[in-house]
Structure formats: structure tokens, C-alpha cells
């Protein structure tokens, strides 16, 4: 059933690429991939390697790692003691199941059904309801800074596709300038200036008009999401939900639960920067999770967190963005302004036991900003945070490891 691109199994964590399911065939890593998707996948892969344990000391138990692409994210799971591979298979089956349930873009998923219900009550899975209810609690907690009815803005800004486009254009520019350099053409600088001028109107057109933003904002209000038993109703028929700010954390928690039920006591789950540790490393030492310097190179780690069973989740502007006139437009949107959150933060990392909580809070705090975010985390038990601002200053909550 599974189509592995490659697999290894030896003493150190190895990488095994999982095949991509049919609905995501255009994202297949092995063949027929669009250059931009490939670039983006490589970018994501470089991010995930950052989150692998910094230490290379492992116990005697053998490690197996497998990488796949779910929920628009590169996922890597590393397990110790999964001799027959059944726990790994179980994890990837769960990922598939949750994507079919919670993805906004997979036709027939619970979220898709809610978004296409035209305001009619929609019967969904208990787990979907419970996750929506949890998400709504974070909306209440943050006075709407976290809001799953953000979809009209997500679609309007379409940051992910614009980021891919920008990456492929940058690649084309690099190739072009390399070719020009090789040719030693003295007209080169003139040509470059012309293409920069002609790119200007295209850049501006990437930014939605204020009318479009106003229209999208008029459908954003978490209070329009009504839950009754296992039925969800959107009281504004044009409202749509998106669980992108919380679903990966929820799935990480479910994977941890599943692995513990399989007696796997040592594992690392990385859902595109949402990291969940299971137990300790087999030799009893802690996992060391590196936090990337925003916009730094792949190996620029600015903090290392020691974990044994906790989760570490980061929301950052550098994860998905495009740039116009030197300004970054990223994927964490402010439901009050309709624009990508612009409050001087570049990343927020949350450390807690629950990955769902980490995921929801990293997005929430990012939108709330430094002061309110710090205040919120300090008011919660057993949760710590690291905020990084555009001037690269780090702000830790009182219990965040130094």
C-alpha cells in the first residue's frame, strides 16, 4: 500500500520517505514534481533536520525514521524499538486518517463538509467537534486573536502559493544571473534593472485590496461557529473554518498516545516544526530540540530545549511568506486588521506537555504580540514561551529554560 522512496535502518536516525497519497500527487517527491514544490519541500526538509536531536549519542536500541508529506507539511517520525515497523505504519495510517478528517482542502473531510454546508448543520466526527471546541476556547481566551473562521483571509492572501511562486522566481533569477555572469555580458546590469522595474506592478498585485480585506473580515467571527453534540453549524453561511493553527498539535498528541499504547517509550515526532518528544532517548538522556534563528540558515540554532515527553512548537513569519518592497507578508493573520500580523515579532515558541496547547498558543501569542502574549503565558500553569522580535531580541517567560 505504501510507496516508499527510500528506506534505511541503522543505529542512527535514518530517513525513509513515505509515498504521497493520491489527492496530493502533485506534491509527490519522487517524480513529476513542479520545481517550486520541490524547492519548498527541500526548504521544509531543511527545517525539519533542525529539529532532529542535536546530540548524536544514542542508546543501543535501533532507530527508524520515516518522512512523509501530510497537511501541507513535511512530517518526520523517529522511533526506537519498533522492530517490526508496525508502530511506524500505525503512525502514518493515523496521519492519513487525520488529514482526511481535518484538512480544509481535502474534499469530503469534516472541515470541507462544514465549509460547504451553506449554513446548514453538519454532522462530523466526535474528534473534529472536540478539536473545534478546544480551538474556540483559545478564541475566547485571546478575545479572537486566535480564530478558526480565518479562512476567507487565508484564501485571499494565499500566502502558501505566493511563497512557492516567489521561491521559483528567485530560483529562475539566480539561474539567469549565473548564465549572464558566465557570458560576461556588459549589458547585464541594464537588463537586471529593467526586469526589476517590470516586477514592480506584479509585486503590488500580490497584496489584496482594502475592499477585498473588508469583505473577508466581515465573515470572520469565531462566535459564528455553533456546536451541538456532533453537529457543527456556521451561522454565517459564507463563513469557513481552518484548523491549520491547531491541528498539527492535536495530531502530535494523538500520535504520542498511540506510540505509548504500542509500548514505544522513546520517539521524536516532528510535524513541520511542531515537535513532540515521547519519553527520553533510549539511554535515558533528554531530547535536545533546537530552535531556529528566524530567517537564519538551516543550522543557525539560537536556543536548545531539553525535553522528555514535552512538546515544543514554533510559529514564525519565516515559515511561509512572500516579500514585496522589502516587506514580509506571512501566514499568521490578524483577525482584527485582516493583514499578516505586524507587531515586531518573528517567532513564538511554546513549551508544554500538550502539543495541542503548544500549537494553539504559539499562533495565539504571535497574534497577541509580545506584551499580551507574555502575560497570557505567565497566567497559565506548566506552559513556557520564548518570543523573538525583529531586532533578534529573545524574551523568555519566567520558567523557560535558559
DSSP secondary-structure letter at 150? Answer: G
Number of residues engaging ligand AMP in binding (CB under 6 A): 17
Q: Which of 146, 157, 250, 329 binds ligand AMP (CB under 6 A)?
A: 146
Q: What is the DSSP string of 283-294?
A: TSPPEEEEEEPT
Q: Which of 79, 310, 331, 356 binds ligand AMP (CB under 6 A)?
A: 331
Of 15 and 376, CB closest to ligand AMP: 376
Q: How far apart are CA 81 and CA 83, in angstroms?
A: 5
* Residues 367, 251, 355, 221, CA torsion sign: positive
- Cβ-based neighbours of 385, under 8 Å, separated by 6 or more: 348, 349, 350, 351, 361, 365, 373, 374, 377, 396, 397, 400
Q: Which of 78, 359, 385, 387 binds ligand AMP (CB under 6 A)?
A: 359
Stretch in the footprint of ligand AMP (CB under 6 A) among 62-70, 223-231, 360-368, 387-395: 360-368
Does residue 122 interact with ligand AMP by CB under 6 A?
A: no
- Note whether 360 and 339 are within 8 A (CB): no
CB atoms within 10 A of CB 84: 7
Stretch in the footprint of ligand AMP (CB under 6 A) among 120-128, 142-150, 161-169, 203-211: 142-150
Stretch in the footprint of ligand AMP (CB under 6 A) among 119-127, 179-187, 195-203, 358-366: 358-366
Write down the least CB distance from residue 174 to ligand AMP, Å.
27
Of 16 and 331, CB closest to ligand AMP: 331
Q: How far apart are CA 362 and CA 313, in angstroms?
A: 7
Of 82 and 359, CB closest to Mg ion: 359
Stretch in the footprint of ligand AMP (CB under 6 A) among 80-88, 200-208, 329-337, 368-376: 329-337
Does residue 362 interact with Mg ion by CB under 5 A?
A: yes
- Cβ-based neighbours of 340, under 8 Å, separated by 6 or more: 157, 159, 317, 321, 328, 329, 330, 331, 332, 333, 334
Q: Which of 101, 332, 368, 370 binds ligand AMP (CB under 6 A)?
A: 332
Of 245 and 279, CB closest to Mg ion: 245
Write down the least CB distance from residue 361 to Mg ion, Å.
8
Stretch in the footprint of ligand AMP (CB under 6 A) among 2-10, 73-81, 256-264, 355-363: 355-363
- Cβ-based neighbours of 143, under 8 Å, separated by 6 or more: none
Interface map 225-264 toward ligand AMP (x if CB under 6 A): -----------------x-xx-------------------
Residue in the block written with cell 482584527: 336
Give the CB-nearest residue to ligand AMP: 244
Of 294 and 335, CB closest to ligand AMP: 335
Q: How far apart are CA 265 and CA 280, in angstroms?
A: 7
Write down the least CB distance from residue 246 to Mg ion, Å.
6
CA 126 to chain centre: 24
Q: Which residues in the 153-172 window bind ligand AMP by CB under 6 A?
A: 154
335 interacts with, out of Mg ion, ligand AMP, none, CB within 5 to 8 A per kind: ligand AMP
CA 399 to chain centre: 25
φ and ψ at 220, to 5 degrees? -105, 110
Does residue 335 interact with ligand AMP by CB under 6 A?
A: yes
Helices (H), 104-209: 110-115, 126-141, 151-157, 159-183, 188-204
Of 72 and 359, CB closest to Mg ion: 359
Does residue 363 interact with Mg ion by CB under 5 A?
A: yes
C-alpha cell at position 26: 502533485
C-alpha cell at position 261: 499504547
Q: How far apart are CA 383 and CA 254, in angstroms?
A: 19
Does residue 290 interact with Mg ion by CB under 5 A?
A: no
- Cα torsion through 253, 258, 260, 262, rounded to 10: -170
Does residue 148 interact with ligand AMP by CB under 6 A?
A: yes
Does residue 245 interact with Mg ion by CB under 5 A?
A: yes
Q: How far apart are CA 48 and CA 42, in angstroms?
A: 10
Give contact residues for Mg ion (rule: CB under 5 A): 245, 359, 362-363
Binding site for ligand AMP (CB under 6 A): 146-148, 150, 154, 242, 244-245, 315, 331-333, 335, 359, 362-363, 367
Amino acid at each position: 500500500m505504501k510507496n516508499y522512496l527510500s528506506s534505511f535502518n541503522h543505529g542512527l536516525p535514518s530517513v525513509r520517505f513515505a509515498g504521497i497519497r493520491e489527492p496530493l500527487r502533485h506534491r509527490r517527491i519522487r517524480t513529476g514534481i513542479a520545481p517550486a514544490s520541490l524547492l519548498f519541500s527541500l526548504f521544509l526538509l531543511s527545517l525539519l533536520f533542525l529539529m532532529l536531536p542535536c546530540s548524536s549519542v544514542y542508546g543501543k536500541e535501533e532507530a527508524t525514521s520515516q518522512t512523509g508529506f501530510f497537511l501541507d507539511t513535511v512530517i518526520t517520525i523517529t522511533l526506537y524499538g519498533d522492530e517490526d515497523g508496525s508502530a511506524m505504519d500505525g503512525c502514518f495510517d493515523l496521519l492519513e486518517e487525520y488529514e482526511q478528517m481535518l484538512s480544509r482542502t481535502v474534499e469530503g473531510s469534516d472541515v470541507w463538509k462544514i465549509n460547504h454546508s451553506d449554513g446548514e448543520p453538519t454532522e462530523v466526527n466526535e474528534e473534529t467537534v472536540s478539536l473545534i471546541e478546544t480551538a474556540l476556547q483559545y478564541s475566547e481566551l485571546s478575545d479572537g486573536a486566535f480564530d478558526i473562521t480565518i479562512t476567507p483571509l487565508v484564501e485571499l492572501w494565499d500566502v502558501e502559493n505566493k511563497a512557492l511562486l516567489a521561491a521559483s522566481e528567485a530560483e529562475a533569477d539566480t539561474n539567469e544571473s549565473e548564465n549572464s555572469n558566465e557570458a560576461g555580458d556588459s549589458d547585464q546590469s541594464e537588463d537586471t534593472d529593467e526586469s526589476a522595474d517590470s516586477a514592480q506592478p506584479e509585486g503590488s498585485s500580490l497584496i489584496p485590496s482594502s475592499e477585498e480585506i473588508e469583505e473577508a473580515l466581515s465573515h470572520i467571527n469565531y462566535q459564528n461557529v455553533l456546536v451541538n453534540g456532533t453537529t457543527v453549524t456556521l451561522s454565517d453561511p459564507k463563513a469557513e473554518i481552518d484548523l491549520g493553527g491547531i491541528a498539527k498539535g492535536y495530531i502530535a498528541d494523538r500520535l504520542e498516545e498511540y506510540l505509548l499504547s504500542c509500548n514505544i517509550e522513546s520517539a521524536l515526532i516532528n510535524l513541520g516544526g511542531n515537535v513532540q518528544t515521547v519519553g527520553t532517548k533510549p539511554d535515558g538522556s533528554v531530547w535536545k530540540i533546537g530552535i531556529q534563528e528566524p530567517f537564519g540558515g538551516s543550522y543557525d540554532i539560537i536556543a536548545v530545549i531539553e525535553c522528555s515527553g514535552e512538546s515544543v512548537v514554533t510559529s514564525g513569519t519565516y515559515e511561509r511568506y512572500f516579500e514585496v518592497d522589502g516587506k514580509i507578508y506571512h501566514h499568521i493573520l490578524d483577525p482584527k486588521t485582516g493583514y499578516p500580523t505586524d507587531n515586531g515579532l518573528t517567532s513564538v515558541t511554546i513549551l508544554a506537555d500538550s502539543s495541542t496547547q503548544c500549537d494553539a498558543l504559539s499562533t495565539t501569542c504571535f497574534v497577541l504580540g509580545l506584551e499580551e502574549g507574555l502575560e497570557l503565558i505567565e497566567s497559565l500553569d506548566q506552559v513556557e514561551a520564548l518570543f523573538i522580535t525583529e531586532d533578534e531580541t529573545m524574551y523568555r517567560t519566567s520558567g523557560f529554560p535558559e
